[in-house]
Structure 1
Amino acid sequence: MRTVTLPPTWTTAAARAAGISRATLRSTRFVRLSHDLYVQLDDAVHQHERLRLLADALPPDAAFSHATAAEVLDAPVDPAPLPHVALTPRRVLPQRADLVVHTRRLADDDVTVHRGLRVTSGAQAFLDLAGELWPWDLVAVGDALLRAGHVSTDRLDERLARAHRVRGVVRARECAPLLSSLAMSRPESLMRYWLVRSDLPDPQPQVPVRDRWGRVVAHGDLGYEHWKVLLEYEGRQHADREQFGRDVDRYSLMAADGWLVLRFAAGHVGGPRLVVDRTRRALTSRGWHPAAS
């Protein structure tokens, strides 16, 4: 049988030419990346590697976009069921059941290469997702992109300024001023958004906690330095034994210096009501009242 050396990815026709039957292609030795694109499964194919291989079959102007771009840039989004790709408008747009294809006239600054993948920039991904996400989720994505250095406030403002009649641009422009590079996690971003949008004072991210000598001994996720109220989100990492011990010490220091610490977990951030209500009660107990803000 004639042997053909296959590239990293190949079509059904190339596989048949190499003597690989359809039955073999359907075995667990191979992974179908798309409708007619296969790769041999020597090792587990994770999402990033899958996208890298899929990129070999895309046109040169293609860039992964929307949730796929945000995922590559490590922003907190749910993985897209199908990869999203942006293409320059053309007379006949490629139609593929295994991709979500968007037409975009992208400037050079609207595309970047990250970890070997051509993706839309942080600013472009933020704009694209503005038409799909709730405002609080969009702020969480923007915070993560800003924190990781994938976008700057100036770059985002520039991109939104030329986004005329683009779906989601109104929401993007409303959310952009709320972004902060100091938010360390998605739940922190959600809590900050809900509090900023409430009638309570705007919280400060990463509030410094000082001891009696004025030394910074800790930082709170969110808080109000004037009223000495802090909000802390407890993620899974806080269940680690060593981390738990550090948290106990940190909370003791905060309490010893007069801070009231509200602790929240995953079950508390499903919506704004609980976070806003408990923060309101804490602030009221420390002397805040609506007229003061």
Structure 2
Amino acid sequence: MPFPFVGSEALTAGLLNRYQLSTRYHMLHRDVYVLRGAELKPIDKAVAAWLWSGRRAVAAGLSAAALHGSKWIDAELPAELNHSSRHKTNGIVLHSDRLADDEVCVVRGIRTTTPARTAFDLGRRRGRTTAVVRVDALLQACDLKLADVQALIDAHRGMRGLVQLREVLDLADAGAESPQETRLRLLYTQAGMRPSQTQIEVFDHGLQVGRIDMGWPEWKVGVQYDGIQHWTDPRQRTKDIDQAAEYRALGWRIVRVGADLLRHRQGTIIARTRAALRAAGAPY
């Protein structure tokens, strides 16, 4: 039984005895157990919290995002429920928002805020960059339509955080495949150079050469964010070198960005990209 489960139910069903329960499993919440020593993912925490509520609560916030398939959620963060219970417990954040029937769906048998309502909630939280990262992740993970989030803004006028949420929706992009790509896109946007397209597929005589993270295909200028695997995996590095040569042969100018550049030398990124765009004839 590696997944979160209700201890009393497992005992009643004869799936294990009290000795096994106490020695092999860890009680995460009242009567909710997980395998001892297991590394819990956000989705595991979401399930465990829901079981703690007696299966009555609605998974919300980051727990809802995890159930909808969002990646890049910090596993150290607590689970989140929309629940009227006054009995708080460690590791669970309780919300008491009123949810309309069409703001709740069922995922894996768990009542969960819809993708639109989840984006509505996460996009209003303090920290615009983090909010955009989380909405981007939802766009990547599921069939979220920004128009549905906008409809919730119209239906909940006066709620806190709507000014930021409107900005987040304007900045969001389904093409971000990592938080760093989101942060890089926001850096360009802040500099007045928002990429006109993300995940640009490049072909040569009908064969795909590769896919560029973001850029301006009208000027054949692209930007690639290189994660750690691009430097530590020899096969990936060889592929990158070959791909770079193919891009050049097709007339593309590629700006490569790593973690150090994005963290400490943002001005260098803007200068290099602006130079590439100007060399291509773009009015930047």
**Is the 1:9–1:53 Cα contact (8 Å) retained in structure 2?**
no
Instruction: List per-residue Cα deviations over 1:174-209 (Å, max 9, x = no partner).
Output: 121332222222222222222123222543212243
Q: Residue 221 of structure 1 is aligned with which of 207, 213, 224?
A: 213
Q: Provide the secondary structure at the position in 1 that maps to 2:191.
A: coil
Unaligned runs of 5+ residues in structure 2 are none
1:148 matched to 2:141? yes
**Is the 1:83–1:100 Cα contact (8 Å) retained in structure 2?**
yes
Report the equivalent of 1:57. Answer: 52
Matches within 5 A, 1:133-172: 133-172=126-165
Equivalents in 2 of 1:144, 1:241: separation in Å?
28
Q: 1:97 to 1:185 in 2, by over 3 A?
A: closer
1:191 matched to 2:187? no
1:283 matched to 2:270? no
- Tell me how far 1:84 sits from its aligned partner: 1.5
**Is the 1:233–1:263 Cα contact (8 Å) retained in structure 2?**
yes
1:67 matched to 2:62? yes
Instruction: List per-residue Cα deviations over 1:3-52 (Å, max 9, x = no partner).
Output: xxxx83249xx9xxx9969xx98x75331212x33526378363334542
Equivalents in 2 of 1:235, 1:101: separation in Å?
35
Q: Provide the secondary structure at the position in 2 that maps to 1:137.
A: helix
Matches within 5 A, 1:260-275: 260-270=253-263, 272-275=266-269
Q: Residue 226 of structure 2 is aligned with which of 231, 234, 239?
A: 234
Equivalents in 2 of 1:273, 1:165: separation in Å?
38
Q: Which moved more, 1:170-179 or 1:126-135?
A: 126-135
**Is the 1:121–1:150 Cα contact (8 Å) retained in structure 2?**
no
**Is the 2:26–2:33 Cα contact (8 Å) retained in structure 1?**
yes
**Is the 2:46–2:80 Cα contact (8 Å) retained in structure 1?**
no
Q: 1:40 to 1:220 in 2, by over 3 A?
A: closer
Q: 1:41 to 1:179 in 2, by over 3 A?
A: closer
Q: Residue 75 of structure 2 is aligned with which of 73, 79, 91?
A: 79
Report the equivalent of 2:196. Answer: 203
**Is the 2:140–2:175 Cα contact (8 Å) retained in structure 1?**
yes
Equivalents in 2 of 1:255, 1:19: separation in Å?
66
Equivalents in 1 of 2:136, 2:156: separation in Å?
20
Q: Provide the secondary structure at the position in 1 that maps to 2:263.
A: coil
Equivalents in 1 of 2:162, 2:126: separation in Å?
12
Equivalent position amino acid for 2:184 in 1:
M
Q: 1:106 to 1:226 in 2, by over 3 A?
A: same
Unaligned runs of 5+ residues in structure 1 are 1-6
Q: Provide the secondary structure at the position in 2 that maps to 1:85.
A: strand
Matches within 5 A, 1:68-147: 68-72=63-67, 73-87=69-83, 93-147=86-140
TM (norm. structure 1) is 0.77
Q: Which moved more, 1:183-192 or 1:264-273?
A: 264-273
Equivalent position amino acid for 1:9 in 2:
G
Equivalent position amino acid for 2:149 in 1:
L
Q: Which moved more, 1:228-237 or 1:129-138?
A: 129-138
Q: What's the RMSD between the two structures over aligned residues?
A: 3.3
Report the equivalent of 1:177. Answer: 170
Percent identity of equivalent pairs: 27
Q: Provide the secondary structure at the position in 1 that maps to 2:7.
A: coil
Report the equivalent of 2:6. Answer: 8
Q: How many residues align?
A: 271
Q: Provide the secondary structure at the position in 2 that maps to 1:56.
A: helix
Equivalent position amino acid for 2:7 in 1:
T
Q: Residue 29 of structure 1 is aligned with which of 17, 24, 31?
A: 24
**Is the 1:136–1:194 Cα contact (8 Å) retained in structure 2?**
no
Equivalents in 1 of 2:120, 2:52: separation in Å?
26
**Is the 1:10–1:39 Cα contact (8 Å) retained in structure 2?**
no
Q: Which moved more, 1:194-203 or 1:220-229?
A: 194-203
